[in-house]
């Protein structure tokens, strides 16, 4: 078997690169061993504003300009809706925060998204005495459904091998590589936190952050926007809400924990006062990088080996643009921006 590319990992990074290859009529084979599940558990929100500081997310405009058509195209392919507009209501904790919101909402880029007024809270189950700042043109991608549909599609097309990729079995050729009888020009590694097992790239400074999420059923809450406070409460339909997320830099497992659940319940109870039941509890590891920028580039010695990783806490927005840039770099020799190129970590 001969393909243009092998892709290792089919989370958001792998899907974005596979789609780029489809568009450019390249052949590929994917390996996926279900060892990581960041993309499967993600809240799936996209939002160009940093809700802690009311600043713009790095490169947000360019990311969204690529991401929205990318998901729309997948909706056409699967004839299914993955994207939903969801406004964000950021609970103010003080008058000072209200003032900071007004100042930020005047800035270029932010003014398109931040409504410059304080929204009064009218839901007596929500604790928001200083009101809300409202963000518009934000939304959610149902990444779990998308990833499952995409995997099934590739299984049907014989383009997905549901098995672990073994790095030591790569045979290097003058041009390209061979792996278990498959010849390929290149391998694109999209393993998320699985990067730690990759001997060719595990020297890169990933500073992974485990995250846990609850799904609750809260029939009295009745909100159709995301509430953001010490936790986010994201409506997903049928009176269900995702509540998240924790950040843990020590635990390297993808298992939900009693501590994570306690933390989320404690924070949730400080925001809402209606009854709810917990119907699900999930966890995953975000592939975050020490400088909060993605990891793209070629291995210094083996140019056949390429990485697409480090999507961090915002894979939904960032993955499609990074896949595009990586393809142009490999196939057309276009320079990668310094801040995303793994060369920035070379001594």
Ligand X SMILES: Cc1cc2nc3c(=O)[nH]c(=O)nc-3n(C[C@H](O)[C@H](O)[C@H](O)COP(=O)(O)OP(=O)(O)OC[C@H]3O[C@@H](n4cnc5c(N)ncnc54)[C@H](O)[C@@H]3O)c2cc1C
> Which stretch in 3-11, 84-92, 94-102, 200-208 sits in contact with ligand X by CB under 6 A?
3-11
Sheet containing 139-141: order of strands: 45-46, 139-141, 83-85
**Could you tell me the smallest distance in angstroms from the CB atom of residue 9 to ligand X?**
2
The one among 13, 21, 104, 306 contacting ligand X by CB under 6 A: 13
The one among 48, 131, 176, 312 contacting ligand X by CB under 6 A: 312
**Could you tell me the smallest distance in angstroms from the CB atom of residue 41 to ligand X?**
5
20 binds ligand X (CB under 6 A): no
The one among 48, 139, 235, 315 contacting ligand X by CB under 6 A: 315
43 binds ligand X (CB under 6 A): yes
Beta bridge partners of 341: 296
Among residue numbers 142 through 201, which ones bind ligand X (CB under 6 A)? 164-165, 190-194
| Three-class SS state of 260 | helix
Binding track, positions 240-259, relative to ligand X; x by CB under 6 A: ----xx--------------
87 binds ligand X (CB under 6 A): no
**Could you tell me the smallest distance in angstroms from the CB atom of residue 57 to ligand X?**
10
Q: Residue 36: CA atoms inside 13 Å, Cβ hemisphere, count?
A: 29
Instruction: Determine if the peptide bond prior to 183 is cis (ω within 30°).
Output: no
34 binds ligand X (CB under 6 A): yes
- 168 contact partners, CB below 8 Å, separation of at least 6: 199
Q: At what angle do helices 12-23 and 315-332 cross, to 10 degrees?
A: 40
Helix (H) / strand (E) containing 16:
helix 12-23
45 binds ligand X (CB under 6 A): yes
260 binds ligand X (CB under 6 A): no
> Which stretch in 178-186, 272-280, 307-315, 322-330 sits in contact with ligand X by CB under 6 A?
307-315
The one among 29, 42, 321, 326 contacting ligand X by CB under 6 A: 42
33 binds ligand X (CB under 6 A): yes
Among residue numbers 219 through 238, which ones bind ligand X (CB under 6 A)? none
204 binds ligand X (CB under 6 A): no
How far, in Å, CA of 174 to CA of 193, rounded? Answer: 30
307 binds ligand X (CB under 6 A): no
- What's phi and psi for 330, nearest 5 deg? -70, -50
Q: Cβ(339)–Cβ(37) under 8 Å?
A: no
Mark 235-254 as b/e (b = at least 16 C-beta within 10 Å). beeeebbbbbbbebeebeeb
- 160 contact partners, CB below 8 Å, separation of at least 6: 10, 29, 30, 31, 32, 151, 154
Residue 28 or 193 with smaller CB distance to ligand X:
193
> Which stretch in 11-19, 21-29, 85-93, 267-275 sits in contact with ligand X by CB under 6 A?
11-19
The one among 35, 129, 270, 273 contacting ligand X by CB under 6 A: 35
How far, in Å, CA of 51 to CA of 59, rounded? Answer: 16
Q: Which residues bind ligand X (CB under 6 A)?
A: 8-14, 31-36, 38-39, 41-45, 164-165, 190-194, 211, 213, 244-245, 284, 286-287, 309, 311-317
């Amino acid at each position: 078997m001969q393909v243009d590319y092998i892709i290792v990992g089919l989370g958001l990074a792998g899907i974005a690169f596979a789609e780029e290859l489809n568009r450019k009529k390249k052949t590929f084979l994917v390996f996926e061993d279900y060892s990581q599940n960041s993309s499967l558990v993600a809240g799936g929100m996209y939002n160009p504003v940093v809700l802690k500081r009311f600043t713009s997310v790095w490169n947000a405009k360019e990311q969204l300009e690529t991401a929205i058509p990318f998901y729309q195209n997948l909706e056409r392919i699967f004839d299914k809706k993955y994207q939903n507009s969801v406004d964000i209501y950021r609970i103010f904790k003080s008058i000072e925060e209200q003032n900071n919101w007004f100042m930020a909402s005047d800035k270029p880029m932010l003014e398109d998204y931040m409504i410059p007024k304080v929204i009064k809270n009218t839901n007596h189950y929500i604790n928001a005495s200083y009101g809300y700042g409202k963000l518009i043109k934000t939304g959610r991608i149902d990444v779990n459904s998308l990833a499952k549909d995409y995997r099934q599609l590739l299984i049907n097309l014989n383009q997905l091998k549901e098995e672990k990729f073994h790095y030591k079995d790569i045979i290097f050729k003058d041009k390209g590589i061979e792996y278990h009888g498959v010849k390929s020009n290149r391998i694109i590694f999209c393993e998320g936190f699985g990067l730690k097992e990759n001997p060719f790239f595990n020297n890169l400074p990933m500073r992974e952050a485990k995250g846990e999420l609850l799904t609750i059923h809260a029939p009295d809450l009745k909100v159709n926007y995301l509430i953001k406070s010490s936790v986010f409460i994201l409506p997903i339909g049928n009176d269900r809400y995702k509540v998240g997320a924790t950040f843990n830099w020590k635990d390297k497992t993808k298992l939900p924990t009693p501590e994570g659940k306690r933390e989320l319940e404690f924070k949730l109870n400080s925001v809402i006062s209606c009854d709810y039941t917990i119907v699900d509890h999930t966890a995953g590891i975000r592939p975050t990088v020490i400088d909060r920028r993605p990891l793209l580039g070629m291995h210094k010695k083996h140019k056949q080996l390429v990485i697409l990783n480090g999507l961090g806490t915002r894979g939904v927005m960032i993955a499609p643009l990074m896949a595009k840039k990586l393809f142009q770099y490999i196939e057309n020799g276009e320079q990668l921006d310094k801040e995303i190129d793994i060369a920035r970590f070379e001594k």
